[in-house]
Amino acid sequence: MIPNWIIQRSTLTPERVAVRFEGNSWTYQEIHEKSLDQAKRLLALGVRPHDRVAIYATSTPQIIFMICGCMHLQCEMVLLNLRLSKTELVYQIEDSEVVAILAEDGLVEKLPETTIRVYPFSVVEKERPDDFTPVSEWAEEDTMTIMYTSGTTGFPKGVRQTIGNHVSVATSSMYNTGLVENDAWLCTVPLFHISGFSMLCKCLLHGVRLDLYRKFDVEKVVDQLVEGSVTRMSVVAVTLERILSELEKRKQQVSNRFLTMLAGGGPVPIDYLKRAIDRGIQVSQTYGMTETSSQTATLSSKDALRKIGSAGKPLFFNQIQIADAKNPYDQGEILIRGAHVTPGYVGRFANKPSQVNGWLHSGDIGYLDDEGYLFVVDRRSDLIISGGENIYPAEIENVLISHPSVREAGVCGVEDDQWGQVPNAFVVLKDIVDTEKLIAFCKKHLAAYKVPKKVYIVKELPRNGSNKLLRRKLQELI
């Protein structure tokens, strides 16, 4: 059994600040009181303990109070991505079989028509609370959250994440980074995504502060990094680049009180990592996925320069192996085992095993070097096969991003009568440059078969709710 996180944290550090948002703050005692009040009002509306409910809201303290209220009720929470279309929302709502949808008032009209009960946050607030006493202990095998995969192939899968999964990730993360006085996470990623929710879990379990942003604001974020009012942050490649550009524009470095910037959501271009070092940012590349409740491997700070480009070694409770690899550097599918791995799925994929012989098959391609450090090459589903040769889009993207005029790059395969597939590139520019010059640049750094046959200049690249590049949607930009 595991202690009820909210009760335990409010008992241990009641007066410690838990959340800051737009000039306001709440202590852990206040989080407990507000979330318990939410639980009582949800109970009065008919939501029962252990019910499965959906939450549809932006990243504000209100979603934290609602999430913690559902934790008190031990509800299974389906966290809906705000970027989904109504068709995609219908699929997830029906597939997960939720009994109610808890929605931020301003977002209710974006929900599809449904027979499921929808409770705007204001309706919950106005309901007369029932009597309710939360349990002091939780079963670690109980499902806490359900998050849907990006759906890179076929239908998205509803991934179960248990209390034990989240505790395992938070504990392994702490073993890796340690805790310092006045630790604080800066959160600009959505709380409906595993990266954001994992941050909330770490704060509750470790008793540290969460500085919450409704959305990414590069100027305010850089202000905090420079003044040193936060110690840690999670980013993806695109947000890291924006932070670096802002710091470079200001000719500033981050405070030495800022300790760690975890970078996930896919391989980070080497050029970004080098620029980060120049700005005093310690980037720790991480590797994880929805099925692993966030981090599986992380590169330690002491290895950042020596193993640049690596996602590090598995965290304490985790194991990684490469399918069919006989020697170091052999590439293959990344397989994962550990207490953080989902026990399974819901809905359409409820009968699909999440593991084969105890190992989760990630769908990612990577290798382990001669010291056991993981290098993630690319998504297997994004692999381009051209004339029998394997081409990894991330390799081409790395080259394009190293060009001084390119801010972002995405590469996908397009059908070709001669070669089966050929790579095409899509770039967001910093400065005007001719596409032929970009192709010539690639020819200097890549084998001929890897050079993009066409380069398209676009205003933005397609990304999901966590800012992860959606390569499958690149062809729609042509």
- CATH code of residue 430: 3.30.300.30
Nearest to 455 by CA among 434, 431, 470: 434
Q: Which residue has the higher pLDDT, 204 or 301?
A: 204
Last residue of a domain, one of 365, 380, 395: 380
Residues 235/43, Cβ–Cβ less than 8 Å: no
Please check whether residue 424 lies inside any domain of the structure.
yes
Confidence of residue 156 (pLDDT cuts 50, 70, 90): confident
Backbone angles phi, psi at 306, to 5 degrees: -70, -30
Exposure class string for 36-65: b at 16+ Cβ within 10 A, else e: bbbbbbbbeeebeeebbbbbbbebbbbbbb
Residues 376 and 400 placed together within one structural domain of the fold: no
Q: Dump pLDDT digits (tens) for 320-338.
A: 999 999 999 999 999 999 9
Coil, strand or helix at 46: coil
Domain residues for 406? Answer: 383-477
> Within its chain, how far is the Cα of 291 from the centroid?
11
Structure tokens at 61: 């303290």
**Residue 152 confidence class, pLDDT cut points 50, 70, 90:** very low
Q: Are residues 361 and 416 in the same domain?
A: no
Return the pLDDT at 153. Answer: 45
61-80, pLDDT tens digit by residue? 999 999 999 999 999 999 99
Task: State the CATH number of the domain containing residue 352.
Answer: 3.40.50.12780
Distance CA 287, CA 345 (A): 21
Average pLDDT (301-330) is: 91
Question: Token match 């790059």: residue?
Answer: 409
Q: Please state which of the ranges 100-109, 170-179, 203-212 shows the lowest mean pLDDT.
A: 170-179
Regarding whether 449 and 473 lie in a shared domain, the answer is: yes
Looking at residues 6-20, what average pLDDT do you find?
98
Is 90 among the domain residues? yes
Same domain for 401 and 462?
yes
The count of domains in the chain is 3
**Spatial strand order in the sheet of 454-457:** 406-416, 420-429, 454-457
| pLDDT the model gives residue 149 | 84
- Asked if 365 and 391 sit in the same domain, the reply is no
Predicted confidence at residue 151, as pLDDT, reads 52
Q: Mean pLDDT score of the chain, rounded to an integer?
A: 93
Looking at the fold, whether 333 and 407 belong to one and the same domain comes out as no
Alpha-carbon span 93 to 101, nearest angstrom:
9
Which of 360, 380, 400 finishes a domain? 380
- Find the mean pLDDT for residues 116-133: 97
- Angle (CA) 453 456 461, round 5°: 120
On whether residue 156 sits in a domain, the answer given is: no
How does 323-340 read in b/e, with b if 16+ C-beta sit within 10 Å? eebeeeeebbbbbbbbbb
Q: Output the six-digit token pair for 284.
A: 């720790």
Tens digit of each residue's pLDDT (9 = 90 or more) over 158-181? 999 999 999 999 999 999 888 888
Residue 244 in any domain: the answer is yes
Shared domain for 341 and 461, answered yes or no, is no
Is the same domain home to 88 and 73?
yes
Are 7 and 96 found together in one domain? yes
Instruction: With a cut of 80, say whether residue 464 has pLDDT above it.
Output: no
- Residue 69: give its domain's CATH number: 3.40.50.980
Are residues 257 and 371 located together in one domain of the fold?
yes
Mean pLDDT within 275-291: 92
C-alpha distances (whole Å) from 175 to each of 171, 220, 471 are: 6, 30, 34
Tell me, yes or no, whether 152 lies in a domain: no
Q: What average pLDDT does range 276-283 have in this prediction?
A: 93
List the beta bridge partners of residue 79.
55
- Indicate whether 436 belongs to any domain: yes
- In the listed set 352, 380, 408, which residue is the last one of a domain according to the structure? 380
In this structure, the answer to whether residues 268 and 397 fall within a common structural domain is no
Residue 296 lies in a domain: yes
Residue 150 in domain: no
Lowest mean pLDDT among 36-50, 51-65, 109-123, 260-274: 260-274
25 lies in the same domain as 118: yes
Place of tokens 């440059």: 433
Starting at the edge strand found earlier in the chain, the sheet holding 184-187 runs 24-27, 17-21, 209-212, 184-187, 232-235, 260-263, 283-289, 294-298, 313-314
